[in-house]
Amino acid sequence: MNISTISLALGLSFSFLTPAAIAQDRSEHEQFAREIYEKVISIRTARGQEKVPEMVEYLADQFKSAGFTDEDIQITDYDSDGEHTQGLIVYYRADGTSKHKPVVILGHMDVVDALAADWERPPFTLTEEDGYFFGRGTMDNKYGITNIASTFIRLKKEGWKPNRDFVIVLSGDEETGMVSTRAQADYVAENIDPEFVLNTDAGGGVLSDDGAPLFYAVQGAEKTYATFELTVANPGGHSSRPRSDNAIYDLADALRKIKEYKFPVRYSDLTLASFKASGAVTPGALGKAMRDFSENPKNKKAIAILRDDPETVGTTGTTCVATMLRAGHAENALPQSATATVNCRIFPGVGIAEVEEKLKKVVDNEAVQFELMTDVTESPESKLRPEVMAAIEASLSARGLNTPIIPYMESGGTDGMHYRIKGYDTVAISGAWMKPSDIFAHGLNERLAVDAFYGGLDHWYVIMKELAGDE
Ligand SMILES: [Zn+2]
């Protein structure tokens, strides 16, 4: 039975029940997970609120009442660009018989802020409506936190002893400074030295618009995020006496050249495997281009189609695009300065210096000054380990699913990159199944389907048992 059949069955059987009756039909574990979810979403862990410690305290209490000891739980304070935040690390210790190295599982407790005035429902209250849970963090990343925390607690209560340590590492400022992330990655490398790292904050199942499972996505690489400011300065003057050089025109010329420029095609084993698998389930010309590219990444027609689609343009190389502009100071004065923001997503393995040099060459005007605005983290691609892939397969088959598992490279950034640069294979494998049209992370009215919430609660349970069961 696939998810759409399951949800159809649930929809039919529940349509005559009141919400209270539905709650009674949920298992004890499902109700407990929902309770955690509701609580963590009610804590506004956005920048400026200093609420991460409140969430840490709540979670630590939950772990303690399930039998985790003070030695298993580690709370650390961080100063994230002037704001107090915390990290939480929880050890699920092995029975001491294994030679296997530990597995680290990542999540982040902070969220991008949400303004109540802009939302249709209160962002920091979990609202169940029309088959969805609404609220900031319902997806990014409080579902992941709820899922992994409730799984740790469930296994502990069942008395399960893994044959290797599992360590949950939750950061407190992933969405902003990543100060806690960097410090935790240092701590993990020095004190835990895991076999590999799993992340709750990306990846997961993809459903078609009518709810049929298409494939399960594994995030195995992240592009490097870099923002430049391009500035042209000019003596300016009175607008009644235009001069041949002009800050706005010079900047506009530079931007037009950047628009026309296409970075060279790049690909890796992950790119090819990703296109091969997604091409098999993507209809039409785009699907054909994916398949053709996976067979021959020099196929010009395939490249043109992939680069013409916003969904795939980022997967075949580096992209840079103008995102902001400011210039001039009066309507009757020649501009003394013009500045554009150009945001780049750089393919793993391509250096930031190489990109800057290329852009300067493309612009070909020394009057245009470049300034790198971001703290850049360049991370390599991770190997897809057979034992991790097998564990994902076990989780899918426990739900009666037999979809392809597709690796992908993320254009954004997660905590995972700070572990990849330390040499740890890191893949993000969320337990949620979603339609692309339901993805509102960082945006208004963030949501997760109620079926996806409960349907994924066994995900980490199965994966942990697969990775630390008997030899
Ligand atoms: Zn996230």
Ligand 1 centroid, distance to 236 Cα (angstroms): 45
Ligand 1 centroid, distance to 100 Cα (angstroms): 29
Ligand 1 centroid, distance to 387 Cα (angstroms): 25
Ligand 1 centroid, distance to 248 Cα (angstroms): 37
Give residue 5's pLDDT band: very low, low, confident or very high (50, 70, 90): very low
Residues 6+ apart with CB under 8 A from 363: 230, 254, 257, 258
**Average pLDDT over the chain, rounded to whole?**
91
pTM, two decimal places: 0.85
Q: Which amino acid, residue 408?
A: Y
Judged against a pLDDT cut of 80, whether residue 256 lies above it is answered with yes
Ligand 1 centroid, distance to 471 Cα (angstroms): 34
Quick one: pLDDT at residue 110? 98
392-429, pLDDT tens digit by residue? Answer: 999 999 999 999 998 999 877 899 999 999 999 999 99
Ligand 1 centroid, distance to 443 Cα (angstroms): 12
Ligand 1 centroid, distance to 285 Cα (angstroms): 32
Ligand 1 centroid, distance to 363 Cα (angstroms): 35
Contact 252, 267 (CB under 8 A): no
Quick one: pLDDT at residue 23? 54
Nearest C-alpha neighbor of 325 from the set 255, 238, 253: 255
Give residue 324's pLDDT band: very low, low, confident or very high (50, 70, 90): very high
37-53, pLDDT tens digit by residue? Answer: 999 999 999 999 999 99
Report the percentage of the chain scoring pLDDT > 90. Answer: 81
Ligand 1 centroid, distance to 431 Cα (angstroms): 14
Ligand 1 centroid, distance to 304 Cα (angstroms): 31
20-30, pLDDT tens digit by residue? Answer: 445 558 999 99
Furthest-apart CA atoms within the chain: distance in Å: 84
343-366, pLDDT tens digit by residue? Answer: 999 999 899 999 999 999 999 999
Q: Lowest-confidence range among 58-62, 98-102, 233-237, 245-249?
A: 98-102
Quick one: pLDDT at residue 470? 60
Residues 6+ apart with CB under 8 A from 63: 72, 73, 90, 149, 152, 153
Ligand 1 centroid, distance to 171 Cα (angstroms): 10
Ligand 1 centroid, distance to 441 Cα (angstroms): 8
Ligand 1 centroid, distance to 370 Cα (angstroms): 30
Ligand 1 centroid, distance to 136 Cα (angstroms): 11
Strand partners, 199: 106, 428
Calculated CA dihedral for residues 267, 270, 271, 277, nearest 10 degrees:
150
Give residue 9's pLDDT band: very low, low, confident or very high (50, 70, 90): very low
Give residue 6's pLDDT band: very low, low, confident or very high (50, 70, 90): very low
Ligand 1 centroid, distance to 175 Cα (angstroms): 7
Quick one: pLDDT at residue 411? 78
Ligand 1 centroid, distance to 338 Cα (angstroms): 34
Contact 143, 448 (CB under 8 A): yes
Ligand 1 centroid, distance to 140 Cα (angstroms): 5
Ligand 1 centroid, distance to 351 Cα (angstroms): 25
Which residue bears the tokens 């041949």?
244
C-alpha torsion sign, points 5, 6, 9, 14: negative
Quick one: pLDDT at residue 435? 86
Q: What average pLDDT does this structure show over 189-204?
A: 97
Ligand 1 centroid, distance to 112 Cα (angstroms): 9
Ligand 1 centroid, distance to 349 Cα (angstroms): 23
Ligand 1 centroid, distance to 317 Cα (angstroms): 23
Quick one: pLDDT at residue 436? 77
Judged against a pLDDT cut of 80, whether residue 17 lies above it is answered with no
Ligand 1 centroid, distance to 427 Cα (angstroms): 14
Ligand 1 centroid, distance to 169 Cα (angstroms): 14
Ligand 1 centroid, distance to 205 Cα (angstroms): 16
How many other C-beta atoms lie within 10 A of the C-beta of residue 82? 6
